[in-house]
Structure 1
Amino acid sequence: MQLIKNAQILLENQLITKDVLIDQGKINKVSDHIDYANAEVFEANGLFLSAGLIDVHVHFREPGYEYKETIRSGSQAAARGGFTTVIAMPNLNPVPDSEEKINAQILLNKANGLVHIEQYGALSNGLTSTHVTNIEGMSNAGAKAFTNDGKGVQTADTMLQAMIAAKHVNKPLAAHLEDNTLIHSGVMNAGQIAERLALPGITGLAESTQLARDLVLARATGVHYHVAHISTKESVSLVRMAKKEGVHVTAEVSPHHLLLSEESILLDNAMFKMNPPLRSQQDREAVVAALLDGTIDMVATDHAPHGEEEKQQSFLEAPFGITGIETSFQLLYTHFVKTGIMTLKTLLERMIDAPATAFQLEAPTAVVEGARADLALFDLENEYEIETNEFASKGKNSPFVGWKVYGKTIATWVDGKIVYKDNVK
């Protein structure tokens, strides 16, 4: 039994100091003052206690790419970021594209994970974008949703058949939008910055044209269609229109697309290389506005660790992707909540409530009696600098290193057990 003393909890958009008693993995009591003789006491000292954050888009790389990340290191990074539930992508080796492979992956996640790790099943065999997998079998085995992540589905019929199957099992289908015929070996957003750096560009049409196709198919099938890492103003407009027309569509945006634009890329520095790429300032402003008005439902990090040598290469050779799960809440709290652009309540809704609801997760969304004790304690008052030597992830590939932020994670509980504790002095 644990007793968290003097934690601030968000109640009706106000921070109120409460004690929280944890027993057998659940919140037993929340009150102004709790004394319990046999409890292990954790003194929160007025720090902010929240339900654990949820990330529906992470890459933990195991099996197949353990030099980039492992399930253990990825889940340690999640806990350090304040996340207690994640959904892991299927771009692994072997790809979890069958009932047997999903079973094996779920067992591996449970054996090595420190947080709750749900699993995406592959939409197509081997993520090749051609033949649709046995979605019903993988759903029965425990796949939480389905995706072709990392590769756009190139044929409309493949997407249509996948949507029909996902609708049948009532599971979300998450889309990485990328029309290969419009990529032209691009490595960053097409525009003046790419021209100045003499790098091939990727037009935003590669995303939005495929999204337009998929939204028509989603309307026809009634599937829950989820847009991964949305990045352009055209895509935002399409999602906004589709929602008004009753299409069952949700969307996520990554912190880097909210905070950075192509103008952030001053040199050929692959720490700024991700897919979709950093877009124009207009695109950035559009996704921020859409997150505020609810057109974009949630934040997801697209946590994508790579080996150090890989990301030391130029834009032309380095892989796409950056890490993000250890800095997501902190960056958004600092740049949106502390500046008054967004309330803390809204940020938590986008990082907890919306993903839990959309993906039918059992994760708790508030610090209330009877809820599973998945909790995160944050220091909202003291500034600190993002440093790679403090990362729990194997991946150090972040463009935010050196940024000063608030909201450091002090402790994280999963099922009532502390899985991360900051080395505060």
Structure 2
Amino acid sequence: MTTVIKNGYLFVGGQIMQADLLVKDGLIAAIGTSLTGDSVINAEDKLVSPGLVDVHVHYRDPGQTEKENVQTGSLAAAHGGFTTVCAMPNVVPVPNTPELMTKMVRNNDQNGLVHILQYGPITIDEDTDEIPDYAQLKKAGCVALSNDGKGVQNARTMYLAMQKAQENNLIIAEHAQDDALFNHGVINEGQKAKKLHLAPITELAETTQIARDLLLAQKTGVHYHVCHVSTATSVELIRIAKSRGINVTCEVAPHHLLLEEENITGDDAKFKMNPPLRTKRDQAALIAGLLDGTIDMIATDHAPHTAADKQGGFAKAAFGIVGSETVFSELYTKFVKTGIFTLSQLLTWLTIAPAESFGLKKAGKIAIGQPADIVIFNLGKKITINTADFKSKGRNTPVKGDTVYGQTVLTMVDGKVVFQIEENK
């Protein structure tokens, strides 16, 4: 059985070209013109991209499945055009052992609609100084290490973790947060915190840990990846580290590109996230960091919560927002249609860059022999972000009601259609 995707604009090798794409036995079999197949998908006037790659999602499975599970999270990913994601280990129980890791990997494979790769924890239960057996976790399917949601507080613990990660060729993906400086804050330290009388979060909670960890990474040689950078100082620290040959990559979350603290309309927890929305200066530095290559990729930090979790304003609500289903259309509309980014740049940050940085050889590109992980976007389609259309269990987003362009028409994983928009929508 073969399928040909005809008349589309393909993103291939960092460039956009008009061509047909032939899919056979779950793989990309040919790229060219006038291709034929047993079935045809007409992509005329549409963008045909490699499936997007997200190295930072939270699927809450097991233990918190009232918020999300592998099936709903992966369907949300497919709805947003993602075909490969990396799931964080802050679940219950944390996959500290090879047995628990094996169980999670099996659940990801059996119930996921997209490729779900699994993080293991840097430390046991993410809040101790005990380091799990990285070799056994990797053997069980662990793709990288993170305590996301919590920073590693003890410098010696992080140093030992980096040494062991380097020995096992595993990435350390750090949520940089010094708890003593974070000090139970709920919003960025700035004018909004003062106006709303809310506990502030100093940027030092992020930047001092990044500075520490970059020196440890330099000493150990480990691949150190910084999750969701959010400040101008963080960007500059990473820029300097890269210039000195330190093995560091980093990501920025879409909400830190789209929003800054002045967009917060009041004591509304839909704007509560960690790291928090920063200043306009920080936002500008993040955009500049992407454009000059300091920031390697965009990752959603998709963090679904129940409606109850997000009640009580900034002081009481949980941190986090969902992002899988809105990232491409939001960023395309705000940055590509306005000429700040090119379409090829945006696609690179969402496909090629994360795949290459994390060594995902079967993701992020359209090439003959590659898995047919494909997404088709209708760039001319204007839509309104409506949480009722979400496939995620989470509805916690500050972009509800936005008018955007770039609707996901179809998502294919290993040659199988896992999401397709209804024609009348």
Name the TM tier (shorter chain): over 0.9
Q: Please tell me whether the aligned partners of residues 12 and 366 of structure 2 are also in contact (alpha carbons under 8 angstroms).
A: no
| Residue 382 to residue 123, structure 1, CA distance change in 2 (3 Å) | same
Aligned to 1:112: 111
Aligned to 1:366: 365
Secondary structure in structure 2 of the residue aligned to 1:382: strand
Aligned to 2:270: 271
Q: Does 1:31 align with 2:21?
A: no
Residue 260 of structure 2 aligns with an amino acid whose one-letter code is S
User: Hey, what's the Cα distance between the residues in 2 that align with 1:62 and 1:231?
Assistant: 27
Q: CA deviation at 1:364?
A: 3.4
User: Hey, what's the Cα distance between the residues in 2 that align with 1:148 and 1:237?
Assistant: 24
Aligned to 2:242: 243
User: Hey, what's the Cα distance between the residues in 2 that align with 1:150 and 1:135?
Assistant: 20
Secondary structure in structure 2 of the residue aligned to 1:340: coil
Q: Please tell me whether the aligned partners of residues 310 and 319 of structure 1 are also in contact (alpha carbons under 8 angstroms).
A: yes
User: Hey, what's the Cα distance between the residues in 1 that align with 2:257 and 2:234?
Assistant: 14
Cα distance per residue 1:332-370 (max 9 Å; x no partner): 111111111111111111111111111111333332322
Aligned to 1:317: 316
Q: How does 1:172-321 map to 2 (within 5 A)?
A: 172-321=171-320
| Residue 129 to residue 297, structure 1, CA distance change in 2 (3 Å) | farther
Aligned to 1:21: 22
Q: Please tell me whether the aligned partners of residues 261 and 284 of structure 1 are also in contact (alpha carbons under 8 angstroms).
A: yes
User: Hey, what's the Cα distance between the residues in 1 that align with 2:247 and 2:90?
Assistant: 25
Residue 29 of structure 1 aligns with an amino acid whose one-letter code is A
Q: Please tell me whether the aligned partners of residues 355 and 364 of structure 2 are also in contact (alpha carbons under 8 angstroms).
A: yes
> Mean Cα displacement is larger for which, 183-192 or 413-422?
183-192
Secondary structure in structure 1 of the residue aligned to 2:256: helix
Number of matched pairs: 423
User: Hey, what's the Cα distance between the residues in 1 that align with 2:14 and 2:57?
Assistant: 29
Aligned to 1:5: 6
Q: CA deviation at 1:41?
A: 1.6
Cα distance per residue 1:18-59 (max 9 Å; x no partner): 2211110001111111123xx122122221100000000000
Q: CA deviation at 1:11?
A: 5.0
Cα distance per residue 1:296-355 (max 9 Å; x no partner): 000000000000122132111110000001111111111111111111111111111111
Aligned to 1:351: 350
Residue 299 of structure 2 aligns with an amino acid whose one-letter code is A
| Residue 13 to residue 374, structure 1, CA distance change in 2 (3 Å) | closer
Q: How does 1:131-170 map to 2 (within 5 A)?
A: 131-170=130-169
Residue 315 of structure 1 aligns with an amino acid whose one-letter code is F
Q: Please tell me whether the aligned partners of residues 53 and 364 of structure 2 are also in contact (alpha carbons under 8 angstroms).
A: no
Aligned to 1:387: 386
User: Hey, what's the Cα distance between the residues in 1 that align with 2:13 and 2:253?
Assistant: 27
Q: CA deviation at 1:381?
A: 1.1
Residue 27 of structure 1 aligns with an amino acid whose one-letter code is I
Secondary structure in structure 2 of the residue aligned to 1:331: helix
User: Hey, what's the Cα distance between the residues in 2 that align with 1:250 and 1:18?
Assistant: 33
* Percent identity of equivalent pairs: 48
User: Hey, what's the Cα distance between the residues in 1 that align with 2:423 and 2:193?
Assistant: 43
User: Hey, what's the Cα distance between the residues in 2 that align with 1:386 and 1:363?
Assistant: 31
| Residue 12 to residue 106, structure 1, CA distance change in 2 (3 Å) | closer
User: Hey, what's the Cα distance between the residues in 2 that align with 1:402 and 1:91?
Assistant: 30
Residue 98 of structure 1 aligns with an amino acid whose one-letter code is T
Residue 160 of structure 1 aligns with an amino acid whose one-letter code is Y
Q: Please tell me whether the aligned partners of residues 378 and 407 of structure 1 are also in contact (alpha carbons under 8 angstroms).
A: yes
Residue 58 of structure 1 aligns with an amino acid whose one-letter code is V
Q: Please tell me whether the aligned partners of residues 362 and 371 of structure 2 are also in contact (alpha carbons under 8 angstroms).
A: yes
User: Hey, what's the Cα distance between the residues in 2 that align with 1:368 and 1:82?
Assistant: 18
Cα distance per residue 1:229-287 (max 9 Å; x no partner): 00011111100000001000000000000110111112110000000000111111111
Q: Please tell me whether the aligned partners of residues 304 and 321 of structure 2 are also in contact (alpha carbons under 8 angstroms).
A: yes
Q: Please tell me whether the aligned partners of residues 129 and 152 of structure 1 are also in contact (alpha carbons under 8 angstroms).
A: no
Q: Please tell me whether the aligned partners of residues 84 and 363 of structure 2 are also in contact (alpha carbons under 8 angstroms).
A: no
User: Hey, what's the Cα distance between the residues in 2 that align with 1:151 and 1:15?
Assistant: 39
User: Hey, what's the Cα distance between the residues in 2 that align with 1:153 and 1:117?
Assistant: 25
User: Hey, what's the Cα distance between the residues in 2 that align with 1:220 and 1:269?
Assistant: 43
| Residue 153 to residue 11, structure 1, CA distance change in 2 (3 Å) | closer
Q: Please tell me whether the aligned partners of residues 374 and 413 of structure 1 are also in contact (alpha carbons under 8 angstroms).
A: yes
Aligned to 2:339: 340
| Residue 167 to residue 212, structure 1, CA distance change in 2 (3 Å) | same
Aligned to 2:419: 420
Aligned to 1:398: 397
Q: CA deviation at 1:158?
A: 0.7
Q: Please tell me whether the aligned partners of residues 17 and 46 of structure 1 are also in contact (alpha carbons under 8 angstroms).
A: no
Residue 266 of structure 1 aligns with an amino acid whose one-letter code is T
User: Hey, what's the Cα distance between the residues in 1 that align with 2:89 and 2:117?
Assistant: 11
Cα distance per residue 1:61-104 (max 9 Å; x no partner): 11000000010000000000000000000000010111111111
> Mean Cα displacement is larger for which, 348-357 or 8-17?
8-17
Structure 2-normalised TM-score? 0.98
Residue 51 of structure 2 aligns with an amino acid whose one-letter code is G
Q: Please tell me whether the aligned partners of residues 129 and 155 of structure 1 are also in contact (alpha carbons under 8 angstroms).
A: no
| Residue 292 to residue 129, structure 1, CA distance change in 2 (3 Å) | farther
Q: CA deviation at 1:14?
A: 5.7
Secondary structure in structure 2 of the residue aligned to 1:144: strand
Secondary structure in structure 2 of the residue aligned to 1:153: coil
User: Hey, what's the Cα distance between the residues in 1 that align with 2:97 and 2:357?
Assistant: 24
Secondary structure in structure 2 of the residue aligned to 1:316: helix
In structure 2, list runs of 5 or more residues that go unmatched: none
Structure 1-normalised TM-score? 0.98
In structure 1, list runs of 5 or more residues that go unmatched: none
Secondary structure in structure 1 of the residue aligned to 2:314: coil
